[in-house]
Structure 1
Amino acid sequence: MTLSCFDLGEQMLSVDDARQALATLIERPLGSEHVPLAQAHGRRLAAAVQAPINVPQNTNAAMDGVALALPREGVGAKQTHWPLAGEVLAGQYRRELVPAGHCVRITTGAPLPPGTDTVVMSEQLREPIDDKPAHVIIESPELLKHGQHVRQAGEDIAIGETALPAGARLDAASLGLLASLGHAEVGVYRRPKVAIFSTGNEVTAPGDPLPKAGIYDANRFTLIGLLAEQGAEVIDLGILPDDLDATKSALQQAAEKSDLVITSGGVSVGQADFTREALEQLGRLAFWRVALRPGRPMACGWLGEKQTPFVGLPGNPVAVMVTFLQFVTPLLNLLHGQSAVPPLRLHAISDNVLKSRLKRTDFIRGIYHTDVTGQLHVSSTGAQGSGILTSMVAANCLIELADNQDGAQPGEVVSIQPLTGWL
């Protein structure tokens, strides 16, 4: 049975064990709501969607040309001159049977009328001169195949089939699919409301003059971006001074109106770190030790009467991003009714020496690419200091060296976590 974060004491945890323990902070997913389809991008489906119709609704033409009937067996047709029995345009539906040996003009997307099963594209047709009655000539009829250039009803999705499973992230293609099924609105999980703030008298808002001993507030904007990518609604509490009362007041407000509270820095035992004391006074606080780099110190717990989950991330910018991806993203998945699965992992061949040590998981910023044979390769971005944000900008993956690896040599296969395309 997985222990909660409050039962861990001072034991050192692996990244996977820490992820499982942290997941116990979320007791239930958020409720659901219905939103217009145009506002549903990035949301998570609260329930599976079954197709109420066939898509396409009718068997239809995939090309402009003529529709006719061909035998199922054999290839081609002996008939070259085909009398025209009318036309069917996209948006029209013809109920009259097309007589045997006749054809109708048809445009792409138009339903095939009764008595036809095959489309011959315009490029294979020739119009006779002074044609009475009207007919077309099919060039190279021996090349025709029964059912060619036809899209069958339900070919995309058949009525009653599951179009999208519960929990699916709605991307552009998903919105198109839902629209094709006639959905004007859709049931989705409510966006998690996540409160964030930065702490420290030295932390300065971008745009303000930078004091001699100051630093610009990078972490808060990094978290805003990460949370937006995960479909969360951000409650930005700004920068809090090193003051116990101000910190307590902000945390109380955050706990009342959010589903999750995240801080970066301020949870160590330093003389001016008041976040830890405020947390202990307002709720139940736990610290957990994880054998990873970058990524310490960290804290977690509950705040206020609502027992709002709290996660205190490290203060260094890269450590904030790494720990968010490993631990906060799974929490947001739980709030969206999903399981706390680890990030997507792929395998790649290392192109350079990678340093690590046993009994600790190292996350190295990397750049992956494919060679001429399609094999995935990866290399380090260079210096790996946890304050070097430029290396995170350059990276398209994290190279994960597990706690049973003491590094990797060129040519060795390593695990990578892509940083793009995995929402």
Structure 2
Amino acid sequence: MPRSVADHRAAVVELLTARLVDRTRPAGKAAVQDHGSETVPLLAALGRALAVDLHAPRSLPPFDNSQMDGFAVRTSDLSDGGAVLKVAAPIPAGAAPEAMLPGFAVPIMTGAMIPEGADAVVPIEKAVPDTFPAPGADNAEVRLPATAPGTFIRNVGSDITEGQLALAAGTQLGPAQLGLLAAFGLATVDVRRPFRVLLVTTGDEVVEPGQSLTAGKIFDSNGTLLEASMRQAGLEVVRTGISDDHPESLLAVLRGHAGQVDLIVTTGGVSKGAYEVVRQALAAEDVDFVPVAMQPGGPQGIGRFQGVPFLGFPGNPVSCLVSFEMFLRPALSQVLGTPAPRPVQHARLAAALTSPDGKHQVRRGRLSDGVLHMEGGAGSHLVHALARSNALVQIPANVTELPEGAEVEVWVL
């Protein structure tokens, strides 16, 4: 009986989770060579996943500071109707101010440290006059209204306090997260190492782009399609060229690289035809070839080759991409924290469609202003239609017909 999409995705998650544990498990007295993390400069961490829980090394803000350009005051100096106060020397941002004397108002700039003794800031717009005295002016005075304590003061630690959990392990580091680390004064961060993937395209019929085609041959689009997808998802990709349809050739490639990668992905050779090289080569390995109730991408291989996680994708280009998007990419997001999951939206069909009973169909479409226009048919060879698409349309296995205007779930590419 075919495996459901959800069950197969869960199996891929389990496979990758075990690999992540293997990378971090101590081996005897020493740790394994790859500890699963590395320290990199902040900008090099963009899009990567945080390796460990990060606690705030200091409070933010690190000191009480002014939220406005205005006057720092003691609120006890201002009666119900306000008061006229003497103007002290100004406090620019970045300065360490002296303690404030009673009866004075201190010009203070946004972000500047609140002087000892002050408990509020009055914005310059509420002052009379509503301009700061000229530098060096003597005996200047200003009328200020009554103000409540704490007004326009950013208190130390009001954003986060020292020792508080700032970011949990697995958090994907985008501009906002890296900005937080910079605010802490950190120049580097520990991130999870990306999985290193061996990607092998198989088939006597495929040749590398740029070479000459002879009768019966086609150019290999799977390698480029999958490598680009993997790199976009943050993986390190190892390519070895195209492996022919001889099992011994494929085994030689896999054995030569298995000890240097975290994952092996092959394309082609996983169906039930007479020359399925991946099935033949891995017949004695801990690998299962299972049908998944999905179209395209039904035939799938999963297991381990010499202890290394293995995934076998079908050979048609659209099947390859759908397999990656439905199984490997979501599993990476769940296990490693990166890449970010595909945005999920709901859209209205521009035209009616049909879908095979009992199979989760993944169609390609173009999403525009909430309306989905299908691109091409259900065929797994339609690369041009794939290139015009910006969404994967998810049609559940129990749905066989949908009318025009029906709402469908789409994953935005």
Give TM-score scaled by structure 2 length. Answer: 0.83
Q: Could you say which residue in structure 1 is the equivalent of 2:299?
A: 297
- Aligned match of 1:34: 38
Q: CA RMSD in A?
A: 3.1
TM-superposed CA distance for 1:253, in Å, is: 1.8
Distance 1:418 1:101 in 2: 62
Q: Distance in 1 between matches of 2:310 and 2:231?
A: 18
Task: Return the offset for 1:263.
Answer: 1.0
Residue 294 to residue 82, structure 1, CA distance change in 2 (3 Å):
farther
Equivalent residue for 1:389, pick from 383, 389, 392: 383
- Unmatched 5+ stretches in structure 1: 1-10, 371-375
Aligned to 1:309: 309
Aligned: 1:61 with 2:60: no
The 1-side partners of 2:214 and 2:160 are apart by: 61
Paired with 1:392 and 1:271, the residues of 2 have a C-alpha distance of: 29
In the aligned structure 1, how far is the partner of 2:361 from the partner of 2:325?
A: 14
Question: SS at 1:12's partner residue?
Answer: coil
Q: CA–CA distance in 2 between the matches of 1:98 and 1:213?
A: 87
Contact 1:382 1:391 in 2 (8 A): yes
- Cα offsets for 1:249-293 (capped at 9, x unmatched): 101123221111001112234444423222224x22211111111
- Aligned counterparts, 1:325-404, within 5 A: 325-333=325-333, 336=336, 345-370=344-369, 376-404=370-398
SS at match of 2:90: strand
Provide, for residues 137-184 of structure 1, a one-character-per-residue CA deviation record: whole Å limited to 9, x for no partner: 66xx58x77645443322322223221112111222211112222333
Matching of residue 406 in structure 1 with residue 400 in structure 2 = yes
Seen in structure 2, the aligned counterparts of structure 1 residues 128 and 396 have a Cα distance that, compared at 3 Å, is: same
Which amino acid in 1 is paired with 2:324? F
1:49 and 2:39 correspond:
no
Of residues 84-93 and 198-207 in structure 1, the stretch that sits farther from structure 2 once superposed is: 198-207
- Compared CA separation, residues 158 and 69, structure 1 to 2 (3 A): same
Q: C-alpha deviations, 1:318-344, integer Å up to 9, x for none? A: 221111111112443465389xx9966
Identity of counterpart residues, as a percentage?
33
Structure 2: which amino acid aligns with 1:171? G
* Of 189, 192, 195, the match for 2:192: 189
Is the contact between residue 77 and residue 103 of structure 2 (CA under 8 Å) also seen in structure 1?
no
Contact 1:37–1:175 under 8 Å retained in 2: no
Cα pair 1:401 1:407 within 8 Å, conserved: no
- 1:235 aligns with 238
Counterparts of 1:128 and 1:186, CA distance in 2: 46
* Superposition pairs of residues 15-34 of structure 1, within 5 angstroms: 15-26=5-16, 27-29=18-20, 30-31=23-24, 32-34=36-38
The partner residue of 1:259 within 259, 262, 285 is 262
**C-alpha distance in 2, partners of 1:266/1:217?**
14
